[in-house]
């Protein structure tokens, strides 16, 4: 009698028919003899509507009240799914986050789950009752409603699975798994049978929006076996698991891209100690995340100056430029340039740890297509390059072929 | 520094502009130096939508899950109104019913408020912070969400006012007060400056849907001064108060009508002891409320039979007929007839206690218009008649004039 957590995303509970469909999927696990806890998102579109209400009252809103408003969507779905289960003859009840409770930090709007009281819910699960829990929310130490940030229902599901010691956490969504790359762009993209937590983290952080990054972190830290699968088909999805579960590790598991970055270049920055801190300190203070950073030798003939290039997210670009320009007198650079028409392409795979030449193959493939690389950054299991946005699709297809990922 | 409770109904918080308008009204009381607690309904239409979701999953729904779903609308409005107040520079926070808490019975879907913990909220009110509370809901002894039945936000407001010892409870709605009768039918209807609790109760129970009946009961029991007023105008509304506050009591305060009744007549019922119990016992067991009852001498020449007429609500008619017909062998009546095309007209006024001839004036006025009275029932402060529905408007206008209620 395994214990399974099933999570249904917004498109999987978008209307009453889909809620009934989700209930049928839960019933199937119950009929197979499993104990089941379900985590639900809001019906798709609902959270956006609620956020719109809030921002149309006040763009500088109190996040505590924001959380009261936007958390209501999942509450509705949890009651409806419990009702749909009952209609199928399955014993079920909703558990709101203050009823369990799900304890979180006081960081309203982006709270972190600190603990889940599972005693009562476990008793009920053992008695054959399905628990339906609204995702995306919890209760703060001040006994107020918190939310976990957009996509937070994934994290709710994984945290609940960890707290319950669940055998598996199935994430039902509108795609049928994790692909080697975006199948809308690369027709030959393949669905992965398995992927490691580390790779999934890198995929999520560079734009493959299948799972919220935080949820993968929690799954990795607690060893929760995740399955990403479609609520509209019966195919098995992609398992996100520990590295040692994957016997035949591919060199590269996937290729991700992010159009969310913008590039800033400071030209003619004096080449002296402390200059990097002088640039990135003020950006950090302004809560602007800097991703890739490269420092080039400058074209300056007497070598006393350098060029500094870095990337920020597009929404932060304006503030980043203003922050750096304000420091102009101190930093004393010659010129600031920025470019929004860039895309970051990343090849990801734990296999690259043990294989040489992975990065070289990437540079080669891009060069063959005449694509100029603007910035390079590498991590243990990822090589990322920044290129002009117009080459995004061409680069993805070329790399997919170069690393042997195309399906037959 | 008076303490005031303001309640805003669904049309008063129907969209973001109206929520801002409601916030401005709250601010006005705050600026006048008052402490203010606010109770809000769901945005108009939202609760109906949520009820539709529930019934489209299962018409025989679990009321505990129904309550989880339909209570969410007020939660949204409470957060939004708190945000709108903050945008006006007014210190405010929402208090969900489990945060106060508002204790209710376990009668899900139609729970009764049993108590409200006000210590923390009173501290905050005394500190100048406005409290915004979602109406219509509470928490059961099982720590689950309850709702109070449709229109329950009125009751939430009155109960909160009672618990806080508020000087006044203002009910903001889309009409500007209580009228002598329905102004859509009788153009000469007048807005009442004051009305007693007892009269308001009778008005509400016979179809004047300005206030939920239960809220008036609670107000009467706790001496809460109610004001019904419009959120769209600055006119004072109608005060609902104790009888001794009304110096110049009119004989009749208002004339109400209800199209919600249906009439059942059993002809040729054996005229023997216990026959009424034999009819109304089974109806009570089926939870069917019987309103008016009359027993006539039958046309039966040897006087051993009688005719029995009674009314039930229209939605209960079918079940009532089935229940009585099932008893046919025991009751042994000759024939059952029913009629849905009836309307109940009631003249209401505490003044009738000290005035003779009130009912006679009613019968006279209806007779002059050629309107046949089918059933009569009276209480201490009310005379009701059942007439054919087609005469409803004519009867209302005739009675309004006959009792001198027409405005000049």
> Does residue B326 or residue B143 have the better pLDDT?
B143
Asked if residue A32 belongs to a domain, the reply is yes
Can you give the pLDDT at residue B301? 65
Asked if residue B312 belongs to a domain, the reply is yes
Q: Which residues contact A351 (CB under 8 A, 6 or more apart)?
A: A249, A250, A251, A252, A253
pLDDT band at B244, cuts 50/70/90? Answer: confident
Asked if residue B86 belongs to a domain, the reply is yes
Can you give the pLDDT at residue A329? 82
Can you give the pLDDT at residue B1? 80
Query: Which of B121, B154, B174 is where one domain is finished?
Result: B174
Please report, for the domain that includes residue A107, its CATH number.
Answer: 3.40.1160.10
Read off the pLDDT of each residue in B284-293 and give the average, rounded to a whole number: 89
- Which chain B residues have a beta carbon less than 8 Å from that of A66? 79, 83
Nearest residue in chain B measured CA to CA from A134: B68
Instruction: Give the closest-approach CA distance of A288 to chain B in angstroms.
Output: 27
Can you give the pLDDT at residue A295? 82
Same domain, B159 and B299: no
| Region of poorest pLDDT, from A232-246, A294-308, A348-362 | A294-308
Q: What share of chain B in percent tops pLDDT 90?
A: 74
Asked if A114 and A122 count as a contact pair (C-beta separation under 8 A), the reply is no
Look up the domain containing B7 and give its range. 3-174
Same domain, B21 and B166: yes
pTM, full prediction = 0.86
Same domain, A42 and A147: yes
Question: Residue A74 annotated as binding?
Answer: yes
Q: What is the pLDDT of residues B127-177, one digit of tens each?
A: 999 999 999 999 999 999 999 988 899 999 999 999 999 999 999 998 889
Could you check whether the bond before residue B101 is cis, i.e. omega within 30 degrees of 0?
yes
Query: Which of B118, B141, B174 is where one domain is finished?
Result: B174
Same domain, A23 and A135: yes
Question: Residue B173 annotated as binding?
Answer: yes
Same domain, B273 and B358: yes
Give which of A63, A79, A139, A142 to mutate to test B binding, by max B Cβ within 10 Å: A79
Q: Do B66 and A83 touch (CB under 8 A)?
A: yes
Give which of A65, A71, A120 to mutate to test B binding, by max B Cβ within 10 Å: A65
The average confidence (pLDDT) of chain B is 92
Which of A272-286, A310-324, B295-309 shows the highest mean pLDDT? Answer: A310-324
Asked if residue A236 belongs to a domain, the reply is no
Q: How many domains does chain B have?
A: 2
- Which chain B residues have a beta carbon less than 8 Å from that of A72? 72-73, 75-76
Question: Residue A210 annotated as binding?
Answer: yes
Asked if residue A237 belongs to a domain, the reply is no
Question: Residue A173 annotated as binding?
Answer: yes
Nearest residue in chain A measured CA to CA from B58: A87
Can you give the pLDDT at residue B206? 67
A229 pLDDT more than 90: yes
| Region of poorest pLDDT, from A53-57, A103-107, B199-203 | B199-203
Can you give the pLDDT at residue A301? 64
Q: What angle (nearest 5°) sits at the alpha carbon of residue B42, between those of residues B193 and B133?
A: 80
Q: Do B84 and A143 touch (CB under 8 A)?
A: no
pLDDT band at A328, cuts 50/70/90? Answer: confident
Q: Do B99 and A144 touch (CB under 8 A)?
A: yes
To the nearest 10 degrees (0 to 180), the angle between helices A317-326 and A275-285 is 130
A395 pLDDT more than 90: yes
To the nearest 10 degrees (0 to 180), the angle between helices B72-87 and A63-70 is 160
Can you give the pLDDT at residue B210? 81
Read off the pLDDT of each residue in B16-29 and give the average, rounded to a whole number: 97
Rounded CA-CA distance A212/A220 in Å is 13
Q: What is the pLDDT of residues A139-156, one digit of tens each?
A: 999 999 999 988 899 999
- Which chain B residues have a beta carbon less than 8 Å from that of A20? 57
ipTM above 0.90, yes or no: no
Please report, for the domain that includes residue A250, its CATH number.
Answer: 3.30.2130.10
pLDDT band at A398, cuts 50/70/90? Answer: very high
Classify the C-alpha dihedral A277-A280-A286-A287 as positive or negative. Answer: negative
Same domain, B169 and B304: no
Can you give the pLDDT at residue B300? 62
A210 pLDDT more than 90: no
Asked if residue B193 belongs to a domain, the reply is no
Contacts A–B by Cβ distance under 8 A: 109
The two structure tokens encoding residue B86: 């903050």
Q: What is the pLDDT of residues A118-131, one digit of tens each?
A: 999 999 999 999 99
Asked if residue B297 belongs to a domain, the reply is yes
Same domain, B168 and B256: no
Q: Which of A54, A72, A98 sits opposite B83 (nearest CB)?
A: A54
Instruction: Give the closest-approach CA distance of A232 to chain B in angstroms.
Output: 19
Q: Which of A69, A87, A98 sits opposite B79 (nearest CB)?
A: A69
Same domain, B106 and B26: yes
Which of A157-171, A237-251, B323-337, B341-355 shows the highest mean pLDDT? Answer: A157-171
Question: Residue A188 annotated as binding?
Answer: no
Classify the C-alpha dihedral B239-B241-B244-B249 as positive or negative. Answer: positive
| Region of poorest pLDDT, from A38-47, A373-382, A395-404 | A373-382
R_g over Cα of chain B: 24
Question: Residue B10 annotated as binding?
Answer: yes
- Which chain A residues have a beta carbon less than 8 Å from that of B143? 99
Nearest residue in chain B measured CA to CA from A18: B57
Q: Which of B68, B83, B144 sits opposite A57 (nearest CB)?
A: B83
Question: Residue A316 annotated as binding?
Answer: no
Residue ranges of chain A whose CB lies within 8 Å of a chain B CB: 16, 19-20, 50, 53-54, 56-58, 61-62, 64-69, 72-73, 75-76, 78-80, 82-84, 86-87, 93-94, 96, 98-99, 143-145
- Which chain B residues have a beta carbon less than 8 Å from that of A87? 57-58
Rounded CA-CA distance B199/B121 in Å is 33
> What are the φ/ψ torsions at residue B78 (nearest 5 degrees)?
-65, -40
> Does residue A331 or residue B115 have the better pLDDT?
B115
Classify the C-alpha dihedral B201-B203-B208-B210 as positive or negative. Answer: negative
Same domain, A253 and A169: no
Same domain, A165 and A299: no
Query: Which of B126, B151, B174 is where one domain is finished?
Result: B174
Rounded CA-CA distance B408/B27 in Å is 36
Can you give the pLDDT at residue B395? 96
Nearest residue in chain A measured CA to CA from B21: A57
pLDDT band at B245, cuts 50/70/90? Answer: confident
Q: Which residues contact A404 (CB under 8 A, 6 or more apart)?
A: none
Q: Do A69 and B75 touch (CB under 8 A)?
A: yes
Q: Do A79 and B66 touch (CB under 8 A)?
A: yes
Q: Do B57 and A143 touch (CB under 8 A)?
A: no
Q: Do B84 and A57 touch (CB under 8 A)?
A: yes
pLDDT band at A287, cuts 50/70/90? Answer: confident
- Which chain A residues have a beta carbon less than 8 Å from that of B80? 53-54, 57, 65, 69
A208 pLDDT more than 70: no
Which of A76-85, A329-338, B241-250, B398-407 shows the highest mean pLDDT? Answer: A76-85
Q: Which residues of B153-179 are buried (b: 16+ CB within 10 A; e: fewer)?
A: bbbbbbbbbbbbebebbbbbbebbbbb
């Amino acid at each position: 009698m395994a214990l399974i957590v099933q999570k249904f995303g917004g498109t999987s509970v978008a209307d009453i028919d889909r809620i009934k469909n989700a209930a049928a999927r839960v019933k199937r696990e119950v009929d197979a003899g499993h104990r089941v806890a379900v985590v639900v998102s809001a019906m798709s579109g609902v959270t956006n509507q609620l956020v719109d209400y809030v921002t149309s009252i006040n763009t500088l809103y109190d996040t505590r009240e924001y959380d009261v408003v936007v958390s209501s969507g999942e509450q509705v779905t949890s009651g409806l799914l419990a009702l749909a289960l009952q209609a199928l003859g399955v014993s079920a009840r909703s558990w709101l986050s203050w009823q369990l409770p799900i304890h979180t930090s006081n960081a309203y709007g982006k709270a972190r789950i600190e603990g889940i009281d599972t005693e009562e819910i476990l008793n009920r699960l053992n008695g054959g009752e399905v628990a339906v829990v609204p995702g995306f929310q919890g209760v703060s130490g001040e006994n107020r409603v918190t939310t976990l940030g957009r996509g937070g229902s994934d994290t709710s599901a994984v945290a609940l699975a960890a707290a319950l010691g669940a055998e598996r956490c199935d994430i039902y969504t509108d795609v049928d798994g994790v692909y080697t790359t975006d199948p809308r762009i690369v027709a030959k993209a393949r669905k992965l049978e398995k992927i490691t937590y580390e790779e999934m983290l890198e995929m999520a952080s560079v734009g493959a929006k299948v799972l919220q990054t935080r949820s993968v972190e929690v799954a990795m830290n607690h060893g929760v076996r995740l399955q990403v699968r479609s609520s509209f088909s019966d195919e098995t999805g992609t398992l996100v698991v520990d590295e040692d579960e994957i016997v035949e590790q591919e060199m590269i598991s996937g290729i991700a891209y992010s159009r969310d970055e913008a590039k800033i270049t400071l030209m003619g920055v004096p080449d002296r100690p402390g200059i990097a801190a002088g640039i990135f300190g003020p950006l950090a203070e302004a809560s602007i995340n800097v991703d890739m950073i490269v420092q080039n030798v400058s074209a300056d003939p007497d070598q006393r100056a350098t060029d500094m290039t870095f990337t920020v997210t597009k929404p932060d670009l304006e503030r980043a430029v203003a922050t750096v320009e304000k420091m102009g007198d101190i930093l004393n650079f010659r010129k600031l340039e920025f470019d929004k028409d860039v895309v970051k392409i990343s090849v990801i795979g734990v296999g690259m740890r043990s294989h040489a030449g992975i990065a070289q193959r990437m540079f080669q493939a891009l060069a063959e297509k005449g694509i100029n690389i603007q910035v390079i950054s590498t991590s243990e299991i990822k090589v990322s390059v920044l290129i002009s946005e117009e080459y995004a699709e061409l680069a993805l297809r070329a790399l997919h072929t170069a690393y042997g990922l195309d399906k037959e």
